[in-house]
């Protein structure tokens, strides 16, 4: 089956190319269904190829498509192992549902076919990233998804805020990519190859702790850029300018998890460096609690989800940083389901509210949109970590691993618990603000349930959000066995053994989730005046959350403004005066020399003759004197 593996990438790519050239000749729903067909086919192929892994008989396979630069191990090579398979299935599975949703959501957009061109291109790029057999190809996919992210954030580029957000995402990602690229160079200098096999097999034997730390930290810079970790997370909230299906697919479910994937994929390197792993975990913890606190204060329905995404990505980083790779990837998977669901639900709400995104102007939508309300409610409980939904199991596993690891990771465990509490609170706040209470709609807004093409994906994702957690429970570590071949020989952190510890920890995290949900419910299931007073009770702290700690202003003052000043100085002072001055000066010099020499050309032949005679005399004297000596 893996002989057809290239189809996984080729199908969406073909869909993208076809839509690019032929899309404009198609009537509206057709491009969407074509794109959906392409990615659904890709899902089918990936699922078929993954069957041996489910059966436990699969072995890691390599499929070389094209010898690009074999000397450095950079070929177009697909690697098919359980980790790739899981990522590919998540990308194509969630992707298919989001494609279907987008057919309804993008209805009436004049660049309908273009949207699906990009969406398919993104799918192909992301699959290139996760199926890559070496770091060079991974980097190709890494850059391609960045490009697609840029294109899709700026899809409504006529809005200045959208094009600005697209640029911001691109530039911030570029900073991370630079770190990643340097990391690749260090890696190549160390191993002389970039292939996963070559690097990861020899990592244990040849890698010194210093080099491992260097590579690990440089990779972390790249991962922090792509996965929106502190301090490079600022682009992700702005990325919500893109159409909501994009936010769901790229900026929640798939692309932003690439950083987690890279860390998990490079586990043998991180295994050599406790420092790098620790930094990953600490960065993740800071991001988790930092973004969670900002999410509490947001009033834009998508901004809440954006900061929530940043926070949950921080959770995954905590997991992989604590070398609990399975836990991190597990959370990646469950998060993909319920966060995609939340975004699609938010999209459904926005669609119904005629593009209104302010939650303070919603309320009471549950009666108008029962399906959306129910599915989003499930997702909210899932992300809050209420057992037995998906989020509970994955989050609990990360927390368990942190607890078991001990040391500074115990502090991270506390941070994780507090973050879980906050997550439950702000997600409940969102759901309550949107779906219950009195309607606070603007005049003329008539919310209505979304069409079936949008609600069906919601239902499918809701089911997944409920059941996905059961793939890896203390009763049966199915996912762990599934992923085992991918992490062969890597020491991995687990949650504590034994039912007693499990129950204590699970009770604690459940308690955090339940407490958060209860607090959110109590605080916000009241008339608007009451919860407004509740918010004002926080004083300036609330303002700080609402304004996201004004980090953008800080970056603007510390980095952007000086950069702009340097650019202006170089452009208007150094370039126009020094550089141009030098260039023009050379020109002016020769112009002046020329206009001086020009006068020698008098046009009088007798002047030329005089010069000729003088020269002749000099040559004659020289010849005679040479003969004399």
Binding site for other proteins (CB under 8 A): 597-607, 609-610, 613-614, 617, 621, 624, 627-628
Q: How far is the CB of 589 from other proteins (least distance, A)?
A: 18
In DSSP terms, which residues pair with 66 in a beta bridge? 76
CB of 580 to other proteins, least distance (A): 28
Q: Does residue 471 have a cis bond before it (omega within 30 degrees)?
A: no
**DSSP single-letter state for residue 300:** B
In whole angstroms, how close is the CB of 586 to other proteins at the nearest point? Answer: 21
- Closest approach, Cβ 174 to other proteins, in A, equals 54
* Least CB distance to other proteins at residue 590 (A): 14
Query: Considering beta carbons, is residue 572 or 591 the nearer one to other proteins?
Result: 591
> What element of type H or E holds 64?
strand 61-69
Minimum CB distance to other proteins smaller for 507 or for 610: 610
- State in angstroms the smallest separation of the CB of 609 from other proteins: 5
Closest approach, Cβ 600 to other proteins, in A, equals 7
**Residues with Cβ within 8 Å of residue 563, at least 6 apart in sequence:** none
Q: Cβ 585 to other proteins, closest distance in Å? A: 23
Residue 532: Cβ within 10 Å count: 12
Q: Which is nearer to other proteins, 27 or 606 (CB)?
A: 606
Question: Among residues 576 and 602, whose Cβ is nearest to other proteins?
Answer: 602
Q: Which is nearer to other proteins, 498 or 627 (CB)?
A: 627
DSSP per residue, 395-411: HHHHHHHHHHH-THHHH
Taking each helix axis as running N to C, give the angle between helix 408-435 and helix 274-297, from 0 to 180 degrees, rounded to the nearest 10.
Answer: 30
Is 559 or 621 the residue whose CB approaches other proteins more closely? 621
Angle between helices 209-226 and 135-153 (to 10 degrees): 20
- Do 211 and 182 contact (CB within 8 A), yes or no? no
CB 628 to other proteins: min, Å: 5
C-alpha 507/C-alpha 417 separation (Å) is 11
Q: Residue 581 has which token pair?
A: 């001055």
The number of residues making up the chain comes to 629
State how far the Cα of 385 lies from the Cα of 381, in Å rounded to an integer.
6
First CA to last CA distance, the chain: 95
Which residues, 6 or more positions from 233, have their beta carbon under 8 angstroms from its beta carbon? Answer: 224, 287, 291, 310
Give the nearest distance from C-beta 560 to other proteins in angstroms: 54
| Coil/strand/helix, residue 201 | helix
Q: How far is the CB of 618 from other proteins (least distance, A)?
A: 9
The encoded tokens of residue 107 equal 């209805």
Residue 71 vs 600, nearer CB to other proteins: 600
**Nearer CB in complex with other proteins: 27/598:** 598
Closest to other proteins by CB, 354 or 607: 607
Please, what is the minimum distance in Å from the beta carbon of residue 607 to other proteins? 6
Cis check: omega of the bond before 231, within 30 degrees of 0: yes
What token pair was written down for 15?
């869909």
* Cβ proximity to other proteins, 71 vs 605, nearer residue: 605
Look up residue 132 and give its two tokens: 């890559």
Residue 193 zone, left/alpha/beta (φ > 0; ψ -120 to 50; rest): beta
**Residue 84, SS3 per DSSP:** helix
- Nearer residue to other proteins within complex by CB, 55 or 624: 624
Of the two residues 583 and 620, which places its CB atom closer to other proteins in the complex?
620
Cα-based angle 305, 109, 32 (whole degrees, multiple of 5): 85
**Contact in structure between 193 and 246 (CB atoms under 8 Å):** no
Instruction: Quote the Cα angle for 95-32-137, to 5°.
Output: 45
Where on the phi/psi map is residue 228: left (φ > 0), alpha (ψ -120 to 50), or beta? left
| Phi, psi (degrees; rounded to nearest 5) at 34 | -60, -50
Residue 132 pairs with which residues in a beta bridge? 78
Q: Least separation, in Å, of the C-beta of 166 and other proteins?
A: 57
Q: At 77, which helix (H) or strand (E)?
A: strand 74-80
Compute the half-sphere exposure of residue 206: CA atoms within 13 Å on the CB side of its CA: 12
Between residues 541 and 593, which has the closer beta carbon with respect to other proteins? 593
């Amino acid at each position: 089956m893996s002989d057809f593996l290239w189809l996984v990438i080729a199908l969406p790519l073909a869909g993208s190319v076809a839509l690019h050239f032929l899309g404009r000749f198609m009537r509206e729903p057709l491009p969407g269904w074509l794109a959906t067909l392409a990615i659904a086919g890709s899902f089918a192929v990936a699922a078929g190829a993954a069957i041996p892994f489910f059966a436990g008989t699969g072995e890691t396979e390599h499929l070389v498509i094209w010898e690009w630069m074999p000397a450095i191990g950079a070929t177009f090579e697909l690697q098919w192992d359980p980790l790739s398979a899981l990522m590919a299935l998540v990308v194509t599975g969630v992707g298919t549902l989001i494609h279907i949703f987008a057919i309804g959501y993008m209805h009436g957009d004049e660049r309908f076919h273009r949207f699906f061109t990009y969406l398919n291109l993104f799918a192909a790029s992301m699959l290139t990233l996760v199926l890559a057999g070496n770091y060079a190809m991974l980097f190709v996919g890494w850059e391609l998804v960045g490009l697609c992210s840029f294109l899709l954030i700026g899809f409504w580029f006529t809005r200045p805020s959208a094009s600005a957000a697209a640029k911001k995402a691109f530039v911030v990602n570029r900073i991370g990519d630079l770190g990643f690229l340097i990391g690749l160079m260090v890696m190549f200098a160390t191993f002389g190859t970039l292939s996963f096999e070559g690097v990861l097999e020899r990592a244990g034997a040849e890698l010194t702790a210093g080099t491992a730390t260097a590579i690990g930290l440089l990779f972390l810079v790249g991962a922090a850029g792509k996965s929106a970790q502190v301090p490079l997370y600022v682009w992700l909230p702005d990325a919500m300018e893109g159409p909501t299906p994009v936010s769901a697919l790229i900026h929640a479910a798939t692309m932003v998890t690439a950083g987690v994937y890279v860390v998990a994929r490079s586990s043998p390197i991180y295994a050599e460096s406790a420092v790098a792993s620790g930094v990953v975990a600490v960065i993740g913890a800071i991001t988790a609690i930092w973004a969670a606190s900002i999410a509490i204060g947001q009033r834009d329905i998508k901004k809440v989800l954006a900061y929530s995404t940043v926070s949950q990505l921080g959770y995954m980083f905590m997991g992989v940083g604590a070398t609990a790779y399975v836990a991190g990837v597990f959370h990646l998977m469950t998060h993909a389901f319920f966060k995609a669901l939340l975004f699609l639900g938010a999209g459904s709400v926005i669609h119904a509210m005629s593009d209104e995104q302010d939650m303070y102007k919603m309320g009471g939508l549950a009666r108008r949109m029962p399906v959306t309300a129910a599915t989003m409610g499930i997702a909210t409980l899932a992300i809050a970590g209420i057992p037995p939904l998906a989020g509970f199991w994955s989050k609990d596993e990360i927390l368990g691993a942190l607890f078991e690891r001990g040391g500074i990771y115990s502090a991270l465990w506390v941070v994780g618990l507090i973050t879980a509490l906050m997550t439950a609170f702000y997600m409940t706040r969102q759901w309550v603000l949107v779906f219950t209470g009195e309607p606070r709609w603007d005049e003329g807004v008539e919310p209505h349930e979304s069409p079936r093409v949008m609600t069906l994906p919601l239902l499918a994702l809701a089911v997944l959000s409920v059941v996905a957690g059961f793939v890896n429970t203390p009763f049966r570590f199915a996912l762990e066995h599934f992923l085992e071949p991918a992490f062969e020989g890597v020491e991995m952190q687990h949650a504590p053994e034994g039912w007693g510890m499990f129950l204590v920890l699970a009770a604690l995290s459940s308690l955090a989730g339940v407490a958060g949900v209860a607090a959110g419910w109590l605080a916000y299931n009241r008339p608007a005046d009451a919860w407004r007073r509740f918010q004002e009770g926080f004083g300036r702290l609330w303002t700080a959350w609402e304004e996201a700690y004004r980090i953008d202003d800080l970056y603007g003052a510390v980095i952007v403004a000086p950069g702009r000043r340097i650019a202006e100085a170089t452009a208007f002072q150094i370039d126009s005066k020094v550089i141009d001055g030098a260039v023009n000066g050379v020109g002016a010099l020769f112009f002046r020399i020329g206009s001086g020499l020009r006068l020698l050309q008098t046009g009088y032949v007798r002047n030329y003759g005089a010069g000729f005679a003088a020269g002749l005399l000099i040559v004659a004297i020289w010849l005679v004197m040479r003969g004399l000596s």
